[in-house]
Amino acid sequence: MGIKAYQSVLYLAGADYAVRVFIQTEPRVWEGWYTLRGHCKAVMSIVLHPKENLLFSGSADKSIRVWRMNAEHPELQQEKPTFLQELTGHTAEVSKVEVACDKLFSASYDGTIRVWCLESKEEPRLSCTQVLREHHGEIFTLHSSHSFLFSGGLDGVVRVWDVRHKSVNCVAQLKGSTKFVLTLTSSENFLFSAGSDKRLTVWKLGQWKHERTLRCRQEGYQCVQYHDGLLWMAGYDETLTALGPYYWWM
């Protein structure tokens, strides 16, 4: 259901209610190190805090669990990862968790995004400081970039949130999908949104201007990811396509 990598450590979340941690022992060889358990339904999303060595897991059981990790060298750690806290408040499945500007964001099928902030870094505890309710219907995806958070869901609108300040505010609504938005990613200058309508929509970051819409053969997109100058797109028809900048700049 979700995968994250940090240096020589791989975190894998799945439908078996667990998060598995793998360590790279040699090139192309990964060994299972530990399994994080506690959720009572599928783990739908995981994210690492870039500064605090914390892992957050969001689940279909409506909760987020907080784990303390030694993200750089877990194999040198005497103690196993520690469960710190369970975050509750959502009334439906937690579909996505994301970290931006030292805040944790959790999106849910209940149509809300919850903002969580650290109360203390010495003894990491998080509390919900804000609930964002602008979406109409289930929220499927979150993405953070350039001090902004992007969200998309059943209403087909990509919402842009300024997360730099204590209070999180919606600064733009991007309407380009005829159906729901399933996945978001970004490059240095562009935001890409895709969903179930066989369209990839390209937006200019900062200006929030529609650049162009690409129509492709896939039966909608499960995932899009920008990496190293290429835009990778996984479709429901079990195809994987890579596009270079020429396709969205021309």
Per-residue pLDDT tens digits for 87-101: 999 999 999 999 999
**In the predicted structure, residue 76 carries a pLDDT above the cut 60:** no
In this prediction the pTM is: 0.91
Q: What is the pLDDT of residue 217?
A: 60
The larger pLDDT score, comparing residue 222 to residue 82, is at: 82
The larger pLDDT score, comparing residue 113 to residue 77, is at: 113
Helix and strand numbers, DSSP H then E, in the chain: 1, 23
Q: Which of 184, 180, 176 is nearest to 196 (CA)?
A: 180
Q: What is the pLDDT of residue 119?
A: 84
Q: What is the pLDDT of residue 233?
A: 85
**In the predicted structure, residue 71 carries a pLDDT above the cut 70:** no
CB contact set of 73 (below 8 Å; sequence gap of 6+): none
Q: What is the pLDDT of residue 203?
A: 94
Q: What is the pLDDT of residue 1?
A: 64
Tokens describing residue 34: 């530990």
The model's pLDDT over 169-207, given as tens digits with 9 standing for 90+, comes to: 999 999 977 689 999 999 999 999 998 788 889 999 999
CB contact set of 178 (below 8 Å; sequence gap of 6+): 156, 197, 199
Angle at Cα 83 formed by Cα 131 and Cα 68, nearest 5°? 85
